[in-house]
Structure 1
């Protein structure tokens, strides 16, 4: 008996309806996210390359979102048919792709926020720190971090699948005894705090006119970037993190995973507002300083 049938017997028809809704949400995210992020990545690489730290972080964010989108067809199939047709290794691989997006996206979004803070509030003092080389090294460390976390997670996941039906592939959650269970909440809380501090400092600098930020030509766009970053955390990442910690939220865990996946469809807006006329001029100035 597969996961859908067994749960339907226990909870009536509610789960069947939920599974159909999950398939619809993941299918919609896949349909929108694939072209949006593929085009965004092409524009970022073709027009901006890896010549500025913000471009490096945004290219990596787009790659992270594309990896998420590539993992969605199997989720759509699973929730549409309530079966898992592939191997245990494939189930682990696809699950890790999905989990890595939440972690890497939250980190790259925070890097973008910190980079914008330095560019606006400390443009001269940070010009040697804000280099594409340093950004590439930071991005490499992020990928090493998420891959390192995959090793113990994959072991725990493998044990779960051996003791349960393979059709429970996407129903896996780390047990409460696993310290990895607290990794996502701690990471999201820390990064959210960093984003709040950056937003506050930039807002204060733009209002006070005490720094080079007084020459920013489009302050609305600047603040919009920070507001969008905060929205990503509060709307998409924070609810899922709280569900890990709050037991009463556990029944909504898969629904919150659906919500978190939507973030990949909105990231292209961040690229658009980050690379308007002001940021292109600013990055050109920063690049010329870096070459001096």
Structure 2
């Protein structure tokens, strides 16, 4: 596909500040994440299917989050190979568009399922009787399906903005990232829209649900708490806010900053370098979330933690007995 020189230079310029990050740091990070994250998430799926007999609403949401993590990790080798191959894309535009779209789609799947867990805790505490009607088993499954479909629809514009670019003076082809395109007429409004719908509103929902839940439990502070509801609510709220603060907030800030710099300085690629470098590093750091999410499941799910820990201990002992860890 032939594109303008203005759009090409954002990907083909060898003097870009993040070239070394693109060629070496990103694939190294992705490879480590794949090696660590895939076994953790596959083990989590095994625990969900074979060890958990009683599934609550939160269990269903955690399972879907793990399924999203695993799917993203299975698509990660395409990006690892691309970066290790000096940014030569050889798989054509359709695969390029699907990989870019799925990368974008994954973050919002994760955000929405974390939000669902927080809202579920809120409804169970503040509106316990209504929760049985609002979020029954069938409604929970339909909600998860709606999240998968909704995030997919939200990410469709990524495919339309994805291009295969041929660099001037060489046969190198680049699978473009819409965030790094010079023309921001489509990318900036779309990125801001996703940031509001897919990040800001879920964050406000989590804060509201957490504060209302804590206030409600504080009113019951003199009553016995045999099921440790107060502690569980604090766990969910703290874990969700940590995920947003460490991963989702920096990701959206760096993504929008990279696009805004192109909008403000359209003819000065040198002005984009620091924002591009920050976004490239954030891509590396955000990939760690697929390794953190299984720990998130253990942290907020007491029964899941017991089964996960027990299964891991058995597998570790088995590996030792067979001499694989010697």
Is residue 2:51 matched to residue 1:47? Answer: yes
Tell whether the 8 Å contact from 1:88 to 1:166 is kept in structure 2 after alignment. no
Is residue 2:178 matched to residue 1:172? Answer: yes
2:64 to 60, 63, 72: 60
Task: Tell me the equivalent position of 2:265.
Answer: none
Task: Tell me the equivalent position of 1:185.
Answer: 195
Q: Which has the higher contact order (CA 8 A, sep 6+)?
A: 2
Tell whether the 8 Å contact from 2:297 to 2:305 is kept in structure 1 after alignment. no
Deviations 1:163-212 (A, max 9, x none): 76873215432652113222331120111111111222222233331698
Is residue 2:119 matched to residue 1:117? Answer: no
Tell whether the 8 Å contact from 1:218 to 1:278 is kept in structure 2 after alignment. no
Tell whether the 8 Å contact from 1:60 to 1:139 is kept in structure 2 after alignment. yes
1:182–1:50 CA distance, 2 compared to 1 (3 A) = farther
Calculate the aligned-residue CA RMSD, in Å: 3.1
Task: Tell me the equivalent position of 1:130.
Answer: 135
1:265–1:199 CA distance, 2 compared to 1 (3 A) = same
1:17–1:109 CA distance, 2 compared to 1 (3 A) = closer
Task: Tell me the equivalent position of 2:301.
Answer: 275
CA distance in 2, matches of 1:71, 1:64: 11
1:192–1:241 CA distance, 2 compared to 1 (3 A) = same
CA distance in 1, matches of 2:246, 2:283: 12
Describe the SS at the equivalent of 1:168. Answer: strand
Describe the SS at the equivalent of 1:244. Answer: helix
Alignment: residue pair count:
275
- Provide structure 2 residue ranges, at least 5 long, that are not aligned to the other structure: 1-7, 262-274, 307-326
- Cα offset, 1:64, TM superposition: 0.8
CA distance in 2, matches of 1:11, 1:35: 35
Task: Tell me the equivalent position of 2:282.
Answer: 256
Task: Tell me the equivalent position of 2:35.
Answer: 31
CA distance in 2, matches of 1:122, 1:211: 19
Is residue 2:228 matched to residue 1:202? Answer: no
- Provide structure 1 residue ranges, at least 5 long, that are not aligned to the other structure: 281-292
TM-score normalised according to structure 2 size: 0.74
Describe the SS at the equivalent of 2:184. Answer: coil
Task: Tell me the equivalent position of 1:72.
Answer: 76
- Cα offset, 1:270, TM superposition: 2.1
CA distance in 2, matches of 1:194, 1:228: 15
Task: Tell me the equivalent position of 1:161.
Answer: 164
Is residue 2:21 matched to residue 1:21? Answer: no
- Structure 1 or 2: more helix by fraction: 1
1:3–1:117 CA distance, 2 compared to 1 (3 A) = same
Tell whether the 8 Å contact from 1:117 to 1:201 is kept in structure 2 after alignment. yes
Deviations 1:54-82 (A, max 9, x none): 12211111111111111211222222221
Task: Tell me the equivalent position of 1:91.
Answer: 96
CA distance in 2, matches of 1:128, 1:5: 52
CA distance in 1, matches of 2:304, 2:35: 32
Structure whose CA Rg is larger: 2
